[in-house]
Structure 1
């Protein structure tokens, strides 16, 4: 008697859960039910509190604790024809970890071991469920740190960071996740486990499959172990603020940093509306100091010389420069990560566009025309050191409007801003991935032949389209 004969009256996902319980009782599983409803969403796709539907059935969820468990789950999912969504902490901002009630979510929550730290090799080997911030807390005693630091570093996992090729504030100096991943152990759709990459800093044998898996959003395989490149903790850090009299002058002033001999670890830019939003949300008074702000972190040796050179370069382009105290520095970086808030009384779309650094002023200049054309308000905080903007496009919710429905004018404004970024040589996603929310925008950037090539790679390693269908490509 086949599996199909014995499970004709129940869904494939429920049949899969029974099979897991019978064959692999060591794996904790939760059948699809209303109790798993939260696993349908990531942070970006979760419904607003006023639009939550009670009684909605979530996906089946499994919590493996070993790579062998992941292999067993993948093989059974293929056997029962149930597609798989790998999930870290669910902090994604593009819908990459969203799942339906007929899918299996494989959570990496319990794959959370720091396997090894090697100070001499400057590497750490970790499982995907390790929290980014927890890893760095562990590394301090070794005098090392892991450079990629998305704003969600306190709650996001290394596996999720790898899946989206996450960036963060320190990308200006240290690069995105891909630059810090040396090797990966990956479970493929047939349940096999492969190792790609190398522990050594150099290595060019074969195709660079490590870079292929980084940023693939779970459509090619499930990462179960990663070898990460570490850096020495800087001997000193210094925070510098540069306030300007307008958004335009601040955006233009960014070029003075690039042309200086200083290479900051972090360069963040806030326009007028963003400063006003932070003040309103956090009770601060940043806007009183200027209409735009460049927030900078320097690190390493010669910190006084770096600060002096930077102050000279920025003062010459009209900035009011302050080298901040340690106490004020902590407060400013906390505001950067958590102080902006989201408008409760307005609909909004957040973006993650990136352009060449020299094009940042042009993007900010484009906001006024878009606002007038579409009846929206646009602001943006930027990882200015690498040209990555996070625009927030908002529109008032009028009486009688459904807050859950995005009006056509708001969506059109967002798409037009994407087109502007592309025309300037940029991209639709600098660090958050494509997921489900940006697939139409990605089609504006990628040629049809490029999309076909990516789908061919997907078909080669996952011919049944078992992993995360409908995402990324």
Structure 2
């Protein structure tokens, strides 16, 4: 491949905007999905304006150089991994909040803004940005948009895409399009905003987003309940979702609870089949009453222990177990975090299937996640230096995806397809829908330079 494109990039970018140092490229080679393969990039660009992104893509298109966009690199599916000889396009320097409209409840941001930075800026004017992936403190909004990230509050407030009003996107040929707008309602033309959100950088590079803000919710009331069986926990989830509007509804299975208790003793019931954590942010007496209804549902479903609190500090203490779930499992060995979603009514079946797979494959699997919308994270724990364990873990990972599809679910609820889930996408979509995906990709990226080999 000709290196003329490197000279052309140097001509359209400031000196700090183009990097070819091998150590820097290695540091930007992959995201957090250790299992996913990664190639060696030829260069890294760090644009700070939309115009610079345009210039980069014009050069890349002219020379048919593959372009892999990335933010903080906190993804969990290999979606930001380099491909051989590619150009890595880092958007972390495009990190400004351009506008924050307190009256119309929206913010205009660049993709390199941290999720937590927008939350903080919104809070300063009494507002709230709802999407809250577990990585909210260090993940960028561009990465959240690329994967349509979710989080703990999804059960009530939806995923990232539900907070997007409009986008600015640079296409593969360097042209710029704007989708959506600044209004909550907008049905003019095709919903291109939804098309780009979750497309994992395969259709265009998002350079600006108009995001919906909300009034800051009242202080929450928190509940924790232990269950003797997965069926009982699943029944409680179904009834809670049908009867109330929890702002958070999380579940951890026995393997996860035991890992957390071993990592940080909290007095958890290590013999419980599942631990359920719920919150109401309705506020005041209404929030207390809503949490009381959830407690009654848990008791009716067979919970062996239920506690609730309206104290903010105590509520955070009760949620500590859930927040430490992944870290605790990491302490037990190499981890492979999955991300699947099933109809809430089939949650207990999913948990039972994962337990069966863990026993059959002889692999530790701790399952936790967003029970309120059926989105769970079965996390495989194994010894990476043991080839047999690695093989069994990979087989178990695939078994889980097959089980999820059999339950009418999806292979990814919030982390994206990337590389890890790509072999299973066509099975979920079907032949005709897969063909339509390829048609859209070819129309918007005819040279196939945008994040090739990912998603499709």
The alignment's TM-score, normalised by the length of structure 1, stands at 0.90
Structure 2 Cα separation of the partners of residues 80 and 451 of structure 1: 28
Contact 2:332 2:381 in 1 (8 A): no
Equivalent runs, 1:3-402 vs 2, <5 Å:
11-12=1-2, 14-25=3-14, 28-31=17-20, 33-45=22-34, 58-260=41-243, 262-287=244-269, 290-301=272-283, 302-319=286-303, 320-324=305-309, 325-341=311-327, 342-343=329-330, 346-395=333-382, 401-402=386-387
User: Which of residues 410, 417, 420 in structure 2 aligns to 1:434?
Assistant: 417
Aligned-pair distance for 1:337? 2.9
Aligned-pair distance for 1:46? 7.4
Comparing 378-387 and 123-132, the one that deviates more: 378-387
Counterpart secondary structure, 1:79? helix
| Structure 1: gaps spanning 5 or more residues | 1-10
Structure 1 Cα separation of the partners of residues 72 and 383 of structure 2: 31
- Write out per-residue CA displacement over residues 424-456 of structure 1, whole angstroms, 9 at most, x where no aligned residue: 110100110000111012122121221111011
- Write out per-residue CA displacement over residues 163-190 of structure 1, whole angstroms, 9 at most, x where no aligned residue: 0000011000011111110100000011
Structure 2 Cα separation of the partners of residues 138 and 245 of structure 1: 43
Contact 1:87 1:106 in 2 (8 A): yes
Structure 1 Cα separation of the partners of residues 425 and 437 of structure 2: 12
Contact 2:252 2:322 in 1 (8 A): no
Output the aligned Cα RMSD: 2.3
Contact 1:186 1:221 in 2 (8 A): yes
Comparing 153-162 and 74-83, the one that deviates more: 74-83
Counterpart secondary structure, 1:287? coil
- Write out per-residue CA displacement over residues 200-224 of structure 1, whole angstroms, 9 at most, x where no aligned residue: 1101111000000000000000000
Change (3 A) 1:57 1:312: closer
Aligned residues: 451
Contact 2:254 2:271 in 1 (8 A): no
Structure 1 Cα separation of the partners of residues 322 and 215 of structure 2: 24
Contact 1:64 1:111 in 2 (8 A): yes
Contact 1:132 1:157 in 2 (8 A): yes
Counterpart secondary structure, 1:331? helix
Contact 1:281 1:339 in 2 (8 A): no
| Structure 2: gaps spanning 5 or more residues | none
Aligned-pair distance for 1:315? 2.0
Structure 2 Cα separation of the partners of residues 267 and 119 of structure 1: 29
